[in-house]
Amino acid sequence: MVETTSHSFTGPHGPKPKKALSRRNIFLYGTLFVVTLYYALPLYIMIVTSLKGMPEIRLGNIFAPPLEVTFEPWVKAWSQACTGLTCDGLSTGFWNSVRITIPSVILSIIIASVNGYALANWKFKGANVFFTILIFGAFIPYQVMLYPIVIMLREIGLYGSLTGLVIVHTVFGMPILTLLFRNYFSSLPEELFKAARVDGAGFWGIYFRIMVPMSLPIFTVAVILQVTGIWNDFLFGVVYTGPDSYPMTVSLNNIVNSTQGVKEYNVNMAATIITGLVPLTIYFVSGKLFVRGIAAGAVKG
């Protein structure tokens, strides 16, 4: 049924807890507290360290809160840290990452969603063969494909261009995204698709007018997965583009993996957090929609 397909997953389903201070609740919240601590600890360490000065870090207690809060490392990581001769920190890389991420995310999602839709609703001969190969592709380590892709991009004249990199991200994002979209579209009532066909809507008409408007959750998931993956990519960014469009991770790598005498842990941590900020923000903002979308994309199928 239309109205129950993708919108009813949000309520907890477990047995209802009883009294507020039952033994069960103490155990439940106790466990969750410890678990939350374990997951939050590294972030805490990163933040705390990034706010300390180097002398304080040498004291050695990574868990202690900063005695004297300084934002110097953040400023340095963002705009002053040297990577080779370039001494403008992560700031240039940041905008390059934005320029890489936005078109890559958009293109990969458009293609994968159309794939998923074609696979779910327009089963044509051989579709499953290609889909199976695609799933196999999800398991290929990127390093293995580095040279073949260099050669392919060279042959189509896109090597070293932003377009080439966008295509590479689209290709490697395709397997998992197609799987998610295919599962999602399969979970939508098929009668809707049939009704639209009777109504004379074609392949694209149904996709844009019927499917896309119903797919906000899965598009959210796709955006999150792709932004995370592409934003954090180092290998493709450095191999398939030139230095004028190196993503932020290249700067991060240069900051973290080269030192001037002493390792500046505070700057490293600040750089690390700054780099992770974009995907983190998207996670925190999209919260509930993410779970709902995952539910819709992964549960059915």
Partner 1 sequence: MNRSTQLLAATAIVAASSASATELEVMHWWTSGGEAAAVQEFAAAFNATGNTWVDAAIAGGESARAVMVSRLTGGDPMGAFQFNHGRQAEELIEAGLLRDITDIAEAEGWKDIVNPSTLLDACTVDGRIYCAPVNIHSWQWLWVSHKAFEDVGLSVPTNWNEFVGASQALADAGKTPLAMGQQGWQQSGAFNVMFAALVPSEIYLAVYGDKNAEVAAGPEVARVFAAAADARDMAATSTVQNWNDATNLVITGQAGGQIMGDWAQGEFAVAEQVAGQDYSCLPGLGVTELLGTGGDAFYFPVLSDDAQIAAQSELAALMLKPETQVAFNLKKGSLPVRGDIDLSSANDCMQKGLALLADGALLPDTNMLLTSDTTNQINTLFTEFFADASISAADAQADFVKIISRAE
Partner 2 sequence: MTNSVEIKKLDLHFGAVKVLQDLNLDIGKGEFLVLLGSSGCGKSTLLNCIAGLLDVSGGQIHINGTNVTWAEPSERGIGMVFQSYALYPQMTVEGNLSFGLKNAKLPKAEIESRVKRASEILQIEPLLKRKPAALSGGQRQRVAIGRALVRDVDVFLFDEPLSNLDAKLRADLRVEIKRLHHSLQNTMIYVTHDQIEAMTLADRIAIMRGGQIMQLGSPDEIYGRPVNKYVADFIGSPSMNFLDGRIQGGAFHVGDLSIPLDGYDFAGGSPVDADATIGIRPEHVVTGELVGNAAFQVDVEVSLIEPTGSDTLIDCTVAGNHFRVRMDGQSRVSLGEKLRIGINPSMASLFDAKSELRL
Partner 3 sequence: MASTRPNQLFRNKSAKIAAIPMIVTALFVFVGGTAWTIVYSFTSSGLLPRLKWVGLDQYERLWDTRKWLVSIENLAIYGLSMLVLVFVIGFILAALLDQKIRFENTIRTVILYPYALSFVVTGLVWQWILNPEFGVQNIVRGWGWETFTFDPLYNAEIAIFGILIAGLWQGSGLVMVLMLAGLRGIDQDVWKAARVDGIPAWKTYLFIVIPMMRPVFITTLVLVVTGIVKIYDLIVAQTGGGPGIATEVPAKYVYDMMFQANNLGQGFAASTMMLVTVALVVIPWAFLEFGGSKNRG
Residues 191-230 that bind partner 2 (CB under 8 A): 191-192, 194-201, 205, 209-210, 213-214
| Token representation of residue 239 | 């191999």
219 binds, among partner 2, partner 1, partner 3, none (CB under 5 to 8 A by kind): none
In Å, what is the CA distance from 225 to each residue of 68, 221, 231? 37, 6, 10
Neighbours of 115 (CB within 10 A): 22
Q: State which of positions 59-98 bind partner 1 (CB under 8 A).
A: 82-88, 92
Q: Which stretch binds partner 3 (CB under 8 A): 55-63, 75-83, 88-96, 97-105?
A: 55-63
Contact between residue 165 and residue 241 where contact means Cβ atoms under 8 Å apart: yes
45 binds partner 3 (CB under 8 A): yes
C-alpha–C-alpha distance, residues 231 and 163, integer Å: 16
d(CA 289, CA 218): 9
- Shortest separation between residue 281's beta carbon and partner 3, angstroms: 9
Query: Cβ 154 to partner 1, closest distance in Å?
Result: 5
Binding flags for partner 1, 168-207, as an x/- string (CB under 8 A): ----------------------------------------
The yes or no reply on residue 4 touching partner 3 (CB under 8 A) is no
Do the Cβ atoms of 75 and 137 come closer than 8 Å? Answer: no
Nearer to partner 3, 9 or 161 (CB): 9
Tell me the HSE value of 141 on the side-chain side, using a 13 A CA sphere. 2
What is the closest distance, in whole angstroms, from the C-beta atom of residue 63 to partner 3 in the complex? Answer: 6
Give the CA distances from residue 181 to residues 8, 128, 132, in Å, rounded to whole numbers and listed in that order: 19, 15, 15
Among 106, 114, 192, 201, binds partner 3 (CB under 8 A): 114
CB contact set of 184 (below 8 Å; sequence gap of 6+): 6, 116, 120, 215, 217, 218, 296, 297, 300
By CB under 8 A, name the one of 106, 146, 192, 291 that touches partner 1.
146
Identify what 189 binds: partner 3, partner 2, partner 1, none; CB under 5 to 8 Å per kind.
Answer: partner 2
The token pair at 150 is: 């260099």
| Binding stretches for partner 2 (CB under 8 A) | 1-3, 189, 191-192, 194-201, 205, 209-210, 213-214
